[in-house]
Structure 1
Amino acid sequence: MSKKELEAESYFSKDFSWDELREEVENNPSFQFHLHPYSSKRTANQNHNALKNAEAWDKFHACHSSGKFFKERRYLLKEFPELASCGENKKVLEVGCGNGSTILPILRGHESIIVYACDCSDEALERTKEIIGAADSIPAKHRFHPFLWDFSNRFPSWLACHSCSGTSSGTNSRDEMGMLNPSCYNEIECCIGGVDFVTLIFTLSALPVDRMPTAIAQCFGVLKPGGLLLFRDYGLYDMTMLRFKAEQQVGYREYMRSEETRSYFFCLDTVRNLASAAGFIEVELEYCCVKSVNRRTGRMMKRVWVHGKFQKPGGEIE
């Protein structure tokens, strides 16, 4: 993507004050249940193990498989210009790739960047492959490598291992889009020695809170020294949070949708503490406060996201 194209992507992140929104929400009686410590008596036990999480997201993506649901994140290179300005053949791990809305601008933005993309949902991966395969002017066959994985578990060793000295004797099973067969993780032709970037875009919030520290630690583990974790997720008092009903609450600031997918809403301190505990150095961390208009109803919506960049110590990104 040219500099002119990047500049053409208009994006604003300070449409309103988060502190003013906080005051507005905390003074509204109808929102009080969002503010108080969660009581487990409100709902039945919601044990959301890894298998159930994958099944829930399969259901979600099956229900939202139409083209209308896909919206390319064109703002991404504005928020994370490192992805467009980095050196040749840099590697990105896109965690929780969903329908590929993050992958497409990354591949468009740099002609030699290599993207490894994982998701716990088969439905999501199939949708991603279709979208990337159909994209015009993106030779992605050797730059896009999707694989099925729940990132709250330990990542496959081929992502970060440095002990490989050549081609493995095992067979590496891939399809025409480079899709790795889950049964062949230990037989990959060659480990890739870590990645330069991990993109964690609206993914961490989908995990149960108690699994978040392990997930962030896994992201730290697969990054090269000096590598960057690029983070964006739902922020506290986002419009979506305020739409949830009390009976949908399954934890403090944590909610469950009808298809049993989860959503957590972050404050800055929560993200900061998770990243610091994993060993990251904070580079940027702030609320993005954006006003958007529902085209059908004309209603103004206040969206809040947390934007962050965190670096693994020990080196620099070119």
Structure 2
Amino acid sequence: MDHMQWSEEEEAAARKKVEENSATRVAPEEQVKFESDANKYWDTFYQTHKNKFFKNRNWLLREFPEILPVDQNAKEKVEESSWDQIRSNFSRMQGTEAHCGESCVSSAPGNKGRPNFPNPDLEEHSEGPGKTGRFPGSNATFRILEVGCGAGNSVFPILNTLQNFPGAFLYCCDFAPEAVRLVKSHASYTEARCSAFVHDVCDDGLAYPFPDGVLDAILLVFVLSSIHPGRMQAVVHRLSRLLKPGGMLLFRDHGRYDNAQLRFKKGRCLSENFYVRGDGTRAYFFTKGEVHRMFCEAGLHEKQNLVDHRLQVNRKKQVVMHRVWVQGKFQKPLHWTQRGNE
């Protein structure tokens, strides 16, 4: 059942369950390895499961039609491909745009009163690919980045659709080398339309294979939740710099009191609403308000931010599960207003 509402009793029961399973925390000295070896745990995960664990995300175009180019030719092709219904659904789902006021200006050190988006043509790129124009996808007219691509469960449905759009190019990265190897070894992978690379989004010093300010869309789906809460804001700030003015960051992740959060046993909690699984990978569970603050702090305008409650039934096990996701769409403003040190 889609988009269901919880009763007060159901939410209270979920809150109690979370209080119980988070009462005992993982010892701080043990937590260090889950942070320092995060990429190793995920690399082992993909070595074990290959591309058999997650299903292909064929719902992406329904929820995020922004990953299609929106020029006139694209619109005509979308209609020819019967995506007009998707567009209709998207328009219906769009919430009221939220402007973030003061929080749209970065408060990072040295950025007080200034937006956090450098112009890609400025001096910091003068010696880089931004000047020469020679980087993967440099001739593209529409560029997408998927962060945390895993074994390609989003990559290949997107590439399949982008065949109709010759100007489109997809970048995808993961910090697990095995995940990127799986993507590159797939029969549908082609460097003419896609560039897969190993990258740790938490390492702000790592360069991307393209300059800042060139992306039309960034896909951040079930990725941010695996990052330590103390590092999330810096990641969102960095990603926002990659977008063109008007570009969209598309977000979907675990919501607070999702069935996955309720199922954690005692002793698996790292910090509030942040847990470690048995295989060493981690998961955070967001509220709508947290998501709003994080992306607005990075200077993006909220176009959509909703909590999606669903009821899933496992008929084989006769189990009913409440699933909760947070989905958001955040846009880099076309123009910035310079603010003083207020």
Q: Which residue of 2 aligns with 1:108?
A: 160
Q: Secondary structure at the match of 2:150?
A: coil
**CA distance in 2: counterparts of 1:65 and 1:28, whole angstroms:** 33
Matched, 1:26 2:12: yes
2: distance between equivalents of 1:90 and 1:29? Answer: 43
What is the CA-CA distance between 1:146 and the residue it aligns to? 0.5
* Deviation per residue, 1:181-203 (Å, 9 max, x gap): xxxxxxxxxxxx52111100000
Residue 49 of structure 1: how far off its partner (Å): 6.8
Structure 1 position 298, deviation (Å)? 3.7
Change (3 A) 1:32 1:227: closer
Instruction: Name the structure 2 match of 1:184.
Output: none
Please say if residues 160 and 195 of structure 1, whose CA atoms lie closer than 8 Å, have aligned partners that are also in contact: no
Match of 1:54 in 2: 39
SS in 2 for 1:141: coil
Letter in 1 for 2:207: P
Give the Cα separation in 2 of the matches to 1:29 and 1:269: 17
Matches within 5 A, 1:199-238: 199-238=219-258
User: What does the per-residue CA deviation read over 1:103-126, in whole Å, with 9 as the maximum and x for residues that have no partner?
Assistant: 122112222321111101011111
Pairwise CA distance, 1:66: 5.3
Unaligned runs of 5+ in 1: 1-11, 162-192
Q: 1:159 aligns with which of 210, 218, 226?
A: 210
| 1:216 Cα deviation after fit | 0.3
SS of the aligned residue for 2:267 comes to helix
Amino acid at match of 1:301: M
Deviations 1:143-175 (A, max 9, x none): 1101111111225154224xxxxxxxxxxxxxx
TM-score (norm 1): 0.75
Distance in structure 1 (CA, Å) of the matches to 2:41 and 2:172 = 19
* Alignment-derived partner of residue 272 in structure 2: 252
**Unaligned ranges ≥5, structure 2:** 75-140, 336-342
Corresponding residue to 2:184 among 119, 124, 129: 129
Take 1:281 and 1:226, find their aligned partners in 2: how far apart are those partners? Answer: 10
Query: Residue 247 of structure 1: SS of its match in structure 2?
Result: coil
Q: Distance in 2 between matches of 1:218 and 1:270?
A: 18
| Preserved contact between residue 91 and residue 116 of structure 1 (Cα < 8 Å) | yes
Output the amino acid matched with 2:59: Y
Return the alpha-carbon distance in structure 2 between the equivalents of residues 93 and 304 of structure 1.
25
Task: Give me the CA root mean square deviation.
Answer: 2.3
Deviations 1:268-291 (A, max 9, x none): 011001001111100000011222
Q: Does 1:144 align with 2:194?
A: yes
Separation of aligned partners in 2, 1:281 and 1:30: 34
Hey, what does 1:117 align to over in structure 2?
172
Residues 30 and 220 (structure 1), Cα distance of their counterparts in 2 relative to 1, 3 Å cut: closer
Aligned residues: 261
Deviation at 1:227, TM superposition (A): 0.5
- Cα distance, 1:122–1:256 mapped onto 2, change above 3 Å: same
* 2:37 counterpart SS class: helix
Q: How far is 1:32 from its partner?
A: 4.8
Q: Which residue of 1 aligns with 2:49?
A: 64
Whole-angstrom CA distance in 2 between matches of 1:214 and 1:49: 19
Q: Deviations over 1:29-79 (max 9, x none)?
A: 8605269xx66x732111257641111111121222253x14110110000
Q: CA deviation at 1:141?
A: 3.0
Question: For 1:153 and 1:13, how far apart are their aligned partners in 2?
Answer: 37
Task: Confirm or deny that 1:77 pairs with 2:77.
Answer: no
TM-score by length of 2: 0.70
Amino acid across the alignment from 1:55 = K
Q: Percent identity?
A: 34
* 1:203-237 Cα shifts (integer Å, max 9, x gaps): 00000000000000011011111100000000111
Which one scores higher on RCO, CA 8 angstroms, separation ≥ 6? 2
- Over 3 Å counting, the alpha-carbon distance change for 1:63 and 1:218 in structure 2 is same
Q: What SS does the aligned partner of 1:42 have?
A: coil
On the 8 A contact 2:15/2:257 being kept in 1, the answer is: no
The residue type paired with residue 146 of structure 2 is: E
Q: 1:224 to 1:31 in 2, by over 3 A?
A: same
